[in-house]
Amino acid sequence: MRRRSVIPLGLAALLALPLTVLPGAEAEAADGLVSAGRPTASSSVEGSGFEPALAVDGSAATRWASQEGVDPQWLRIDLGSNHTLSRVKLNWEAAYAKTYRIQTSADGSTWTDVYSTTTGDGAVDDLTLSGSGRYVRMYGTGRGTPYGYSLWEFEVYGAPTGTGGGTGPAVPFGSHLKPYAAGTIKPSGSQATLDQKVVDYYNRWKAAFVRQNCGNGWYQVISPDADHPYVAEAQGYGMVIAATMAGADPDAKKIFDGLVKWKIDHPSSINPDLLAAEQDVNCRSVNGGDGATDGDMDVAYGLLLADKQWGSAGTYNYKALALKHIAAIKKDEVNPTTKLLKLGDWTSSGDQYYWLSRTSDWMVDHFRAFRAASGDTTWDAVRTAHQTQIANLQSGYASGTGLLPDFVVDTNTSPKPAPGQVLEDPNDGQYWWNACRTPWRIADDAVTSGDAKSLAAARKLNGWIKTKTGGDPNKIVNGYKLNGTALSADGDAAFFAPFAVAAMTDSGSQAWLDALWNKMVATPIGTDSYFSASIQLQVMITVSGNHWVP
C-alpha cells in the first residue's frame, strides 16, 4: 500500500494548523506506540464487525467503519492518562477522509486541534506533530468517497507525562477494569462488538430521553410513560447511566452534573438530602414533593460512581453528596425494625404503608456500595435482611418459579405477597411492572460479588424462565402469577431484558443468553417508554461486562 511521508513544512503551513515538527528519529527513539488496545469510541459504526476497537487491535485485516454518507464522524482513543504526543499514523481503508483534524483533549469534552488538512487522499498518513492530552481523536468533516470513514489502524505515539489522568474517567466504558465473578458468562462474539452495541443503544436512549428543559443548568431524563414528566426513578437511572458511560460519551460528566444540579434544586419536602419524587412540565415538584426510595437508591449509587470516575474536587463534591444521601436513606427510607426498605420518606410508623416494601427497590449491590463508602455496618444488616426475604419469598410463595411479587406486606410479622391492590394495581402481589426488574437487580449483585445467596436466587429465576419459554425469549410475556401463569400476551423489554442478567449466572445458558442478547439488540427504542428503554440499556451495560460497583 502506498505510504505518504510527513507533509513538508511549507505545505503544512497552508494545509494545517500550527504544529511543531520534531526530528523523526529522535521522536521515535523517545516515544512508543501508546494507543494499542486502548478503549475507543466512535460517532457511529457501519455495522457489526466494524467497531472502533478494531482500529487499535494491531491488525491490518480488521477496521473501524462509520455510518455511510454522513458528516461529521469521529474515532476517539482513551490513552488512560495525559501523554505528550509526537506522531499519529492513520492507515485508511478505501473510505478515507479528505478533510479531517487530529484533536486532543484532557477530559474527552474540550478539544484542541493539533493537525488539520483539506486535501487528504487516503492510503497512509504518517504525521509528525506536537500536542498533549489523555484523549486523541480523528475528526472527519469531509469524506473522500460517497461512503463513510474507515481506518484499518489508528496509531498514536507519545509518552506519559506523569501528571495523571486529568479529569477523564477512571473506569471508562469499555475498559473492563472491574472483572465479574468467576464463572459468569457473556454473550458470544467479540468484546468490541458487545460494547459497541451498548454505545449504539445508549446514543438512541440519550436522544430520546435526555433533556435540558426549564434552564437553570439542569439536565433531566424525561418520563413520558410515568404519571409526571419527570420522576425520581428516571433521574436515578440517568445518573447511573451517565457515570457508567463516561469514556464513551464525552458529554457524560456534563450530563451528570446537570442531573446533580436537578437533584440539589429539587429536594424532598421531608428530608432535603433526598430527591423529590415528581415534577411537572414546568420542572416544579408536585404531589407533596416527598421522596421515593427507588430513585434515591440510584441517585446515591450514581454519586458514588461519579466520585470514583472523576473525583470530588470539581463543581460538586460527589462523595459528600453521596454520603448525605445514603444517611438520609437510612434515616427515612429504611424501616428501623425490619431493616427493609420503605416505599419512600413519606411513610412513617402507624400508617398503612409502614410495613410494606417493594421488591424492585431491593438493590443488593447498592447496599454493598453504601457500606463501603460510609463504613456503616447497618448496611450489612440491611443487605442480609433483603437477601433473607428474597430466599423466603422464593421458597414459600414461588418454589417453582423464583418469581417475586411487586409488593410485600406484613414485613413486621410474616412477610408475604400483597393480597391484592395495596398501592398501585390489583396485581400488586404478582410478578408485574415493578418486580419485572428483580432478575436484573438480583443478578447484578450475583455477577459482581459472586455472593452465594444472590447466585442461588438468580439461577432459580433463570432456570424457570428458560424452561417456561423453551429457550425462546419471544415467549416471555408481560407479567406472571407467582406460580408462572401468564398475565398478558404482550412482550415488553422491561420483562424480557432483565432475565438476560440472570442467564449470566449459569454456564449452561450460553445459547439462552445469546438469544436474549440478540432480541435486545433487535428491539428498537420506544420513545414513549423511558421505563423499558432505561431498563434494557442498564441490562445491556451489565451483560456486556460494563457494570461495576464503586
- Residues identified as active-site: 233, 294
Q: Which amino acid is at 97?
A: A
What pairing do the DSSP bridges indicate for beta strands 124-143 and 3-4? parallel
CA angle 3, 7, 11 (to 5 degrees): 140
Please say whether the beta carbons of 431 and 476 come within 8 A.
no
- CA-to-CA distance for 549 and 468, rounded, in angstroms? 32
- CA-to-CA distance for 514 and 13, rounded, in angstroms? 53
- CA-to-CA distance for 69 and 143, rounded, in angstroms? 8
Please say whether the beta carbons of 515 and 473 come within 8 A.
yes
**How many other C-beta atoms lie within 10 A of the C-beta of residue 388?**
14
- Nearest to residue 42, comparing CAs of 178, 151, 144, 127? 151
The DSSP annotation for 274-328 comes to SBBSEE-TTS-B-TT--BBHHHHHHHHHHHHHHHHHH-SSSSS-HHHHHHHHHHH
Phi, psi of 336 (to 5 degrees): -65, -20
**What angle, 0 to 180 degrees and rounded to 10, lies between the N-to-C axes of helices 438-449 and 530-543?**
20
Please say whether the beta carbons of 452 and 364 come within 8 A.
no
What sign does the dihedral 481-487-491-494 (CA atoms) show?
Answer: negative
- The three-class DSSP label of residue 439 is helix
The DSSP annotation for 324-376 comes to HHHHHHHHHTB-TTT--B-SBTT--TTSTTTT-EEGGG--HHHHHHHHHHH--
**What angle, 0 to 180 degrees and rounded to 10, lies between the N-to-C axes of helices 293-310 and 252-265?**
140
- The three-class DSSP label of residue 154 is strand
Phi, psi of 343 (to 5 degrees): -75, -25
Element of type H or E holding 424: none
DSSP 8-state symbol, 196: H
In DSSP terms, 249 is beta-bridged to 246
Element of type H or E holding 508: none
DSSP 8-state symbol, 431: B
**How many other C-beta atoms lie within 10 A of the C-beta of residue 312?**
15
